[in-house]
Amino acid sequence: MTHHAQVAWKRLYQICSYNGPAFPPISKIACAVSLALTRSHLVAPSVLALVLGKVAWTQKTLADAEHFPIRNSLYMHAQDGHLYLSSFVFSLFEGVILILRTIYLAILFSPSIAMAPFADCFGDQFRKTWLHIVHVTLERAGPAFIKWGQWAATRPDLFPRDLCTELSKLHTKAPAHSFAYTKRTIEKAFGRKLPEIFDDFEEAPVASGSIAQVHRATLRFRYPGQVSKPIVVAVKVRHPGVGESIRRDFVIINLVAKISNFIPTLRWLRLDESVQQFAVFMMSQVDLAREAAQLSRFIYNFRKWKDVSFPRPLYPLVHPAVLVETYEKGESVAQYVDENEGNERVKSALAHIGTHALLKMLLVDNFIHADMHPGNILVRVPHGKPSRKRLFKSRPHVIFLDVGMTAELSKSDRVNLLEFFKAVAVRDGRTAANCTLRLSKKQSCPNPEAFIEEVEKSFAFWGTPEGDVVHPADCMHHLLEQVRRHKVNIDGNVCTVMVTTLVLEGWQRKLDPDYDVMRTLQTLLFKVDWAESLFYTIEGLMAP
């Protein structure tokens, strides 16, 4: 009790040292009595001192509330004025930068914008020239525009197919930043010197993209008295100022998208709709900690698979600006896709592994790697003299990289998409069209009946002996072109999944022409109890 009384007295002492207005008499009495009674160790005086101290503390609070702002209003206004001035100067500086950046981009994009209204008027060669100019312009405009172009390439429902094909060729190579910046960023992120984290760190980056660059390093990992194998890691470091640069460019992109609605020749691009959906995509690209979380989720989903893996983020070495993950060795699957002859067994196995991995992501996990082009897939093939045990079990190993772009579907979107795939597989045009119209919560198609009628005519032709030779994937491409012409809305994640399926089907058809991804999907979807047995079916297909 004495202790609590002394604490109350300390509070009272703060009142006495407070330079506010004069306190009422009760405060002075409390001050005197508490000072005397806290010297005593008796219970009663201590209780009295505690009560009086509490009363005095209440008086002090009231004094603060009533008088402090008045007496110190000049100081507070001075602080606020300093804050407002700093904010104004910063906003002015940001405004100047935005204006200069806008002028630069206006000059850069003026050729492609001027040619856009005539892209369909002067023949194929003129259109090819325009597509190439758009490609080069986006590459020179910076990381935000490169990423926007890559994202737009996955939206054939919004943009013409030839434009999407051209944008899919956008390269993300960028000049590397200095090693000094890399070192400073890592040390700031993890609060330790670089040699305390890594035994060896290669100053020259292995690769440099529009968002970050990757260094190879050896992790400093030692147990006392034990010799451990060096752990080779990939260290991804975000480029300096890339977050601010993308934020500024996104403000400009959004403004241009809004203005495009009032320009008849650009309205067909529906830029405002694509920019809103692009914002979500960009968030996952810039934040490396988010990519690490997505890697962990994929690793968990595929924890039982022997032929598929992902780089493993090494916590706690994860930060929004720095990501340390295991370094994965392997050859790009593009080498096998572009190879005309040889390695038939490996190619066929890769086609099966890729298909089953996508089906698991789509139908079992509902968490899809939405950037599965050959550049993001590595292959490890067992080498050496095959033993009797390995003769039939030797299979290539697939590593999926760069999981910054992912997609998840709501329950209703998932059901509609699966029904859509079923309709495409059996060439049911009306059902496919109705499913497509349900693939957006805010459908604004101006004439749904005309869209359904056109899709039905196309599917009716594909159902004839002459049209039966058309591959289901080509049917989907044609349907997406009809979606664009009729201005049918499709939610971004749904379209991303559709395009990912088509991209995967495209390079797997090159690996193994006899293997049909769409037919495998059809076989699974038309099982009566597919919802219950799908997990076991896919796991059985991939059993070692």
Q: Domains of the chain: which residue ranges?
A: 82-171, 173-242+281-328, 329-382+394-543
Q: What are the pLDDT tens digits along the chain (544 aa)?
A: 555 555 554 554 444 444 444 444 444 444 444 444 444 444 444 444 444 444 444 444 434 434 444 445 665 666 666 677 777 787 888 788 888 988 998 899 899 988 888 888 888 899 999 999 999 998 888 877 887 787 777 777 777 888 888 888 776 566 788 999 999 999 999 999 999 999 999 999 998 887 889 999 999 876 656 666 788 999 999 999 887 888 888 888 788 777 777 777 566 556 666 676 666 667 667 889 999 999 999 999 999 998 999 999 999 999 999 999 999 998 888 888 777 677 788 888 888 888 888 888 888 888 998 877 777 889 998 765 555 554 445 689 999 998 888 888 888 888 888 888 888 877 788 888 898 888 887 777 888 899 999 998 888 888 787 777 777 777 778 888 888 888 888 877 787 788 787 777 777 777 887 777 767 776 776 664 444 445 545 454 444 4
Residues in the chain: 544
- Residues with Cβ within 8 Å of 111's Cβ and at least 6 positions away in sequence, in order, are 133, 137
Is 0.85 topped by the overall pTM?
Answer: no
Q: What is residue 31's predicted lDDT score, i.e. its pLDDT?
A: 46
Structure tokens at 104: 């630069």
Q: 206 in helix, strand or coil?
A: coil
Please report, for residues 122, 182, 357, the alpha-carbon distance to residue 142 in angstroms, rounded to integers and kept in the order given. 30, 20, 33
Distances in whole angstroms, Cα of residue 45 to Cα of each of 3, 10, 55, 251, 285 = 12, 16, 15, 68, 66
CB within 8 A of 90, min separation 6: which ones? none
CA distance 269 to 86: 40
> 255-262 — which CB contacts under 8 Å span 24+ positions?
none
pLDDT of residue 56: 46
Inter-residue contact 366 to 411 (CB < 8 Å): no
The beta strands (E) that lie in 336-427 are given as: 368-369, 377-380, 397-400, 406-407
Interatomic CA distance for residues 83 and 241, integer angstroms: 24
The 8-class DSSP code of residue 360 comes to I
- What pLDDT shows up at residue 194? 93
Rounded Cα distance, 359 and 353, in Å: 10
Are 220 and 314 contacting, i.e. CB atoms less than 8 angstroms apart? no
- The tokens 């049909």 sit on which residue? 516
The pLDDT of residue 70: 46
Report pLDDT for 266.
61
* The pLDDT of residue 197: 92
At residue 100, φ and ψ (nearest 5 deg) are: -65, -40
Measured in whole angstroms, the distance separating CA 422 from the mean position of its chain's CA atoms is: 29
Fold of 173-242+281-328: Phosphorylase Kinase; domain 1 (3.30.200)
Q: How many helices (H) and strands (E) does the chain have?
A: 22, 12
